Structure 1
Amino acid sequence: MPRTQNKDNFIDKTFTVMADLIVKMMPINDKAKRAYVYYRDGLSAQNAGDYAEALENYEESLKLEESPFDRSETLKNMAIIYMSNGDEDLALDTYQRALDQNSNQPSCLKNMGLIYEKRGRTAQEAGLQDEADQLFDRAADVWTQAVRLYPGGYLDIENWLKTTGRSNIDVYF
């Protein structure tokens, strides 16, 4: 049974029925509608913590979806799952794929920076300062892009950029 039909309460069931009706009436082709239903089911599974089911639905959505914007959202959600599961290399690759579809995704850049910064701290703790500096610089590069796309949205990142000396820009807009 699809996740959207497996709701426990009246409000969720009602919302799902309404959403299904709206999707059926949308002036888009059947393929795009099916892609959306897979995406919606993937998002529902992801929110419920069922990452395997979410990834299956997202993969099916990607097979059908033609819109670069919608594909980028699906890829971003997949990358979040990979990141949560500790598969940082796959997360980085998937975030990049999302950015290739839609470069206006500051959250992808922010999360990529989190991975690089974490790896930098790990290298630093292991006494590998040159490697740490390279990773911190990569974090700074993607975070600078993120902050430029979303000024004021990532104040902690702006502070990190300033306090580490990796930014000489005071205002990002």
Structure 2
Amino acid sequence: MPRTQKNDNFIDKSFTVMADIILKVLPTNKRSKEAFAYYRDGMSAQADGEYAEALDNYEEALKLEDDPNDRSYVIYNMGLIHASNGEHDRALKLYNEALELNPQMPQALNNIAVIYHYKGEKTKEDGDSEGAEDFFDRAADYWKQAISLAPNNYIEAQNWMQNTGRGG
């Protein structure tokens, strides 16, 4: 049964109804509409914590979607799943793929920075302060890029950079 027929959550139903309306009126080809339907179902599954189902839908969307900007969001969402599962290296790879397709994606830059910051904290806990500083510097570089694209976002990151002397 398609996910669109089994959502019980009001917000999910509202999203699905709006997405279906957009699909019907969107002046695009059938292939793109199919890709969007898989993407929509992937987002719904992801919101429900059904990560395997979400990834399957995203993979199907990528097979059909040709638009680089749209592909970047599918890949970005795949990165979110891998990051939430603790698969940080896989998430980094996906976020970077998304950025190759859409360099104007501050959320991907932010998520890369968050992972590098996390790796810095872990490395510091392991007693490698020099390695930790390298990760922290990388995090700051990505946060600077994210902030340049979305100046009013990432206030916590700006404060961290300022407090650690990394600019901000």
Q: TM-score by structure 1 length?
A: 0.90
**Per-residue displacement from partner, 1:35-83 (whole Å, max 9, x unpaired)?**
0000000000011110110000001001111111111111111111100
- Structure 1 contact 147–153 (Cα < 8 Å) conserved: yes
Matches within 5 A, 1:1-173: 1-8=1-8, 16=16, 19-167=19-167
34 and 116 in structure 1: CA distance in 2 versus 1, 3 angstrom threshold: same
Q: Distance in 2 between matches of 1:140 and 1:114?
A: 9
Displacement over 6 Å in runs of 4+: none
Which of 1 and 2 has greater Rg?
1
Give deviations 1:1-30, integer Å, cap 9, x for gaps: 111111336886576456435413321101
Q: What is the count of residue pairs matched by the alignment?
A: 168
Q: What is the CA deviation profile of residues 128-153 of structure 1, one whole-angstrom value per residue up to 9, with x for unaligned ones?
A: 01111111111011011011111021
d(CA) in 1 for partners of 2:13, 2:125: 50
% identical aligned pairs? 52
Q: 1:17 to 1:150 in 2, by over 3 A?
A: closer
Q: Output one character per residue of 1:98-154: Cα deviation in whole Å (capped at 9) or x when no partner.
A: 000100111111111111011111111111011111111110110110111110211
Task: Return closer, same or farther for 1:12/1:116 CA change in 2, 3 Å cut-off.
Answer: closer
Unaligned runs of 5+ in 2: none
Distance of 2:10 and 2:128 partners within structure 1 = 56
2:134 and 2:14 map into 1 onto residues whose CA distance is 52
Counterparts of 1:158 and 1:11, CA distance in 2: 33
Which whole-Å CA distance do the structure 2 matches of 1:140 and 1:31 have between them? 40
Aligned CA RMSD, in angstroms, stands at 1.8
